[in-house]
A and B are shown apart, each in its own frame.
Chain A
Amino acid sequence: MTLGESELREVCGFLERTEPFPSLDRGQLNLACRAVEVAYFRRGSTITAAGDANRHLSIIRAGAVELRLGGTDLHARLGEGDCFGYPSLIRNGTAQNEAIAVEDCLLYRIDAAAFARLRQESDGFRRFFEIDEASRLRRAVSAMREAGAAAAEAQGAFTIHAPVETLLAMREIVTAPPEMPIGTAAELMAREDVSTLPVCEGERIVGIITDKDLRRRVLAVGLDLATPVSSVMTPDPLTVPLSEPLASALLTMTGMHIHHLPVLDAAGRLRGIVSAGDILAQLGSNWLHVVREIEGAGDPQAIARATSQLPRAVGGLVGAGVDADHVARYVSTVAEVAHRRLLALAQAELGPPPARFALVAFGSLARSEVALGSDQDNGFVFAEDFDRERHDGYFAELGRRLSDGLNTAGFRYCPGDIMASNPAYRRTVEEWQAHFSGWIDKPDPQAVLESGIFFDMRGVAGEIALVEAMRERIFEAARRNRIFLSFIARSAAATAVPLGFFRNFLLKEDAVEGKVLDLKAQAIAPIVDLARSHAIAGGIAATGTIDRLAAAAKAGSLDKEAARDLAACFEFVRDVRFRHQAEQVARGDPPSNLLDPGDLSRFDREHLRDAFKLIRAQLDKLRSDFAGGMG
């Protein structure tokens, strides 16, 4: 007389295709089905009032429900397959949200006892109903990374997630003590056939010396070979831990223009040297050839040909499961190399620059967070010797060639004309400072809104120290001006981050349903703005968003958990963007930041909603912290 779950077809069938029930085994699913009671609520009726004792997990079988926090603020709008009521069950407390049927609703409800038993018996079920968005999101991020590594392994690729440790040669490391004479060190290098020699005190690395150093710092200047290596070595070289992923190590080397990295163990002992060549040989992948092609390009068209492969290369990286941060760093490296190569090509034709200068990149390139379809933001910074009358003609042409070349290479002209081709963005350090001072001393909301990207700046060519000097002065001025800080914070906090999704729509705070999610404006930019606000307030030198968040946490202006949560959000939303862009590229569409909420998987929707919530909370906090000026 009693029925098996296969006979409760409609109920079990529905649960089976509704998260998180697919994670249950047959017995657990049967238990869930048998625990279901069906209830019907007419449109407009209250299902649960805030403050009610709630005894059920509700699953919407048909219809739509709105959750309003404390009965007022819209918290979520839910449709078929969505669940509600679990936070109060888990807390064993009263409902905080009012649940209202906004359409006629058929609900499947599972009582507290069965819910508790399923949570106890099934990890997947319990995890799904985790109340804490932050830990849910972090788990999603690590799940993506694992899936990425697994995908790469499944393709038989030497995974670029593998730690550098896997590449370290078994042979003994050749090192030199600091007092070793240069001549002896050179003999040692020749005998051991190494191009790089770490200089160590005991097991601790204190410097590094390369073939190139011997040529430039010894032979070219006729230095006495009896001089100790410590006087020509590069002291305190960049190192990586054993666990550093190969992709990271490779990007670091590409970005820094070095070919070797010392690898240290947890105790700080030198364990070996990893070279870019070793990694490339192992990866057997061609995604770095875009960089090499640009570096070897003879004209802007050749650069454009090289960068035209960028979308496909990104698709390949995404397909291999590479995480968003590495993909962004890769795209940024390509962009940066293209900037430098275009300048070099122009200079080869125009002659050497008549004055000292630096090329400064603003915005995403400065942060090393470039995505596909990003536009260019750049300018020139000059030293005191710059004479506009005599020199600007040259730099106007240099700037024009740069921005044209970048546009041809797919880094579109900046719609706001923030480009070195615009005379307004060719300034001396003092002029830049005066320009910024205008915003800082007399902030108005519109100017502040537009000034954001200028606080993300990085020298990419020329005398980078000029950019550094300008950045320091401007940050110092901004940091001291509390009114400006409150403007910056308010401007950041004003971003309307969506609430979540309802059916195939994006749900906004004012209950409006949107058809398009702008990942950049609605999820990525708010995190960038948050990190920047903290960076300006705290005088943080780092430009990258993740680095800024970490530095703000270290300085105590942002709590550690918030920094970690925001970093997870940032990684997740950028991952969604790159996956989305890879799909667009695969379809032959131009990559964009806009996406149809209906195209999102349930996994992405759920976790984006978590990310939105975390970002909104931090924006609120920023607003209140900085409202009257920071500090």
Chain B
Amino acid sequence: MALSLFGGPEARLRKAFAKAARDAPSGPLAEYYAAGLPDFALPLSAVPMTAIDLETDGLEARDSAILEAGLVDLADGRIAVGSAGRIRFRPPAALSPDAVTIHGITDDALEQALPEAEALAQLLQRLVGRVLVAHFAQIEAGFLDAACRRVWGQGFVAPFVCTMQLEQRWFPRPRAADGLRLGKLRSGYGLPHYGAHDGVTDALACAELLLAQIAHRPGGAPRVGDLLRR
């Protein structure tokens, strides 16, 4: 606890969040910050979480676009499949053929997509007061930050849990080069192989991995703060 009050990751996050909240222009981003952060000292089961996976048309957050966000909520140690959702972002230009192949997102599907500002506003509303879960969360954090800066001139600060980082932290061991990939880790926990590669499935896959990691973690039930990305 002392650590989180004086410069630990939890304190740093609170500080950054408070600053972002002050600087945010009125509108969706300000509303998101207004709800504040959950109490990190609470047990995991008491805090609402959402697993998120972004499909993008490139790897560089600054010059690539978000194509879709897949989401699914966790509550009380369970994943609620009925909460799963998808928000499609309208890309700035027609898709490169590569992105179509990788994500299976076609121009047709994109017709239902929303302009970036609108999609982002909808997404933020969905994430209010929640802890976000992603595998290799830098990507999600980076893309959402870049998108918010593009739209509102201010960055995105949120409590993130990164399942890849948790794996290294909780179960340190030498691994193969691709040993931390989502599919590899899942099969190690006896989780099924998921063939589909879309935002919703990947979010679900990541949420399941988190449940498995928590079940295998030695010691009692962790508090929310123990999970946060450092």
A interface residues (Cβ-Cβ under 8 A, vs B): 1-3, 7-11, 14, 33-42, 45, 61-63, 80, 103-106, 108-109
7 shortest A-B CB distances, which residue pairs?
A104-B190, A34-B82, A40-B211, A38-B79, A36-B81, A42-B215, A37-B78
Is there contact, CB below 8 Å, between A103 and B200? no
Is there contact, CB below 8 Å, between B216 and A42? yes
Instruction: Name which of A7, A40, A45 has the most chain B CB atoms within 10 A of its CB.
Output: A40
CA distance A170 to B144 in the complex (A): 85
CA distance A108 to B126 in the complex (A): 24
Shortest Cβ distance from B119 into chain A, in angstroms? 10
CA distance A363 to B211 in the complex (A): 58
**Quick one: given A1-B122, A7-B86, are A38 and B211 in contact (CB under 8 Å)?**
yes
Contacting residues of chain B (53-72) with chain A, CB-CB under 8 angstroms: none
Using CB atoms, name the residue of chain A closest to B190: A104
Q: Please list 27 pairs of residues, one from A and one from B, whose beta carbons are closer than 8 Å in the complex, sorted by A's number.
A: A1-B86, A1-B87, A7-B86, A7-B198, A8-B81, A8-B200, A9-B196, A10-B194, A10-B195, A10-B205, A11-B81, A33-B82, A34-B81, A35-B81, A37-B78, A37-B79, A37-B81, A38-B78, A38-B81, A38-B208, A40-B208, A40-B212, A42-B215, A45-B215, A104-B190, A105-B190, A106-B190
Question: Chain A residues with Cβ under 8 A from B87's Cβ?
Answer: 1
Question: Chain A residues with Cβ under 8 A from B191's Cβ?
Answer: 40, 62, 106
Shortest Cβ distance from A370 into chain B, in angstroms? 46
Is there contact, CB below 8 Å, between B82 and A106? no
Question: Chain B residues with Cβ under 8 A from A40's Cβ?
Answer: 189, 191, 208, 211-212, 214-215
Is there contact, CB below 8 Å, between A62 and B211? no
CA distance A457 to B119 in the complex (A): 83
Question: How many residue pairs bridge A and B at CB < 8 Å?
Answer: 84
Question: Chain A residues with Cβ under 8 A from B126's Cβ?
Answer: 1
Is there contact, CB below 8 Å, between A3 and B189? no
CA distance A45 to B216 in the complex (A): 11
Shortest Cβ distance from A62 into chain B, in angstroms? 5
Is there contact, CB below 8 Å, between A106 and B216? no
**Quick one: given A8-B200, A62-B191, are A37 and B80 in contact (CB under 8 Å)?**
yes
Using CB atoms, name the residue of chain B closest to A62: B192
Is there contact, CB below 8 Å, between B201 and A10? yes
Number of B residues near A (Cβ < 8 Å) is: 31
Question: Chain B residues with Cβ under 8 A from A39's Cβ?
Answer: 77-79, 211
Task: State the main secondary structure of chain A at its contact with B.
Answer: mixed
Contacting residues of chain B (23-76) with chain A, CB-CB under 8 angstroms: none
CA distance A3 to B199 in the complex (A): 12
Contacting residues of chain B (175-201) with chain A, CB-CB under 8 angstroms: 189-192, 194-196, 198, 200-201
Question: Chain B residues with Cβ under 8 A from A108's Cβ?
Answer: 81
Using CB atoms, name the residue of chain B closest to A9: B196
B74-106 interface bits toward A, Cβ cutoff 8 Å, 1 = contact, 0 = none: 000111111011110000000000000000000
Question: Chain A residues with Cβ under 8 A from B81's Cβ?
Answer: 8, 11, 33-38, 108
Shortest Cβ distance from B103 into chain A, in angstroms? 14
Is there contact, CB below 8 Å, between A35 and B86? no
Is there contact, CB below 8 Å, between B79 and A63? no
Having A9-B200, A106-B208, one finds 13 other A-B pairs with CB under 8 Å, namely A1-B122, A3-B86, A7-B84, A7-B200, A11-B81, A34-B81, A35-B82, A37-B81, A39-B211, A63-B190, A80-B192, A106-B212, A108-B81
Using CB atoms, name the residue of chain A closest to B214: A40
CA distance A594 to B188 in the complex (A): 36
**Quick one: given A3-B86, A10-B204, A40-B208, are A61 and B80 in contact (CB under 8 Å)?**
no
Instruction: Name which of A3, A33, A45, A108 has the most chain B CB atoms within 10 A of its CB.
Output: A3
CA distance A103 to B208 in the complex (A): 16
Shortest Cβ distance from A326 into chain B, in angstroms? 44
**Quick one: given A10-B204, A38-B211, are A2 and B189 in contact (CB under 8 Å)?**
no
Q: Decide if B132 is an interface residue (CB 8 Å cutoff).
A: no
CA distance A14 to B81 in the complex (A): 13
**Quick one: given A1-B122, A103-B190, are A10 and B82 in contact (CB under 8 Å)?**
no
Shortest Cβ distance from A218 into chain B, in angstroms? 81
Question: Chain B residues with Cβ under 8 A from A61's Cβ?
Answer: 192
CA distance A63 to B80 in the complex (A): 20
Is there contact, CB below 8 Å, between B82 and A36? yes
Using CB atoms, name the residue of chain B closest to A39: B78
Using CB atoms, name the residue of chain A closest to B204: A10
Shortest Cβ distance from B201 into chain A, in angstroms? 5
Is there contact, CB below 8 Å, between A62 and B190? yes
Shortest Cβ distance from A17 into chain B, in angstroms? 12
CA distance A617 to B215 in the complex (A): 38
CA distance A39 to B81 in the complex (A): 11
Shortest Cβ distance from B189 into chain A, in angstroms? 6
Shortest Cβ distance from B110 into chain A, in angstroms? 15
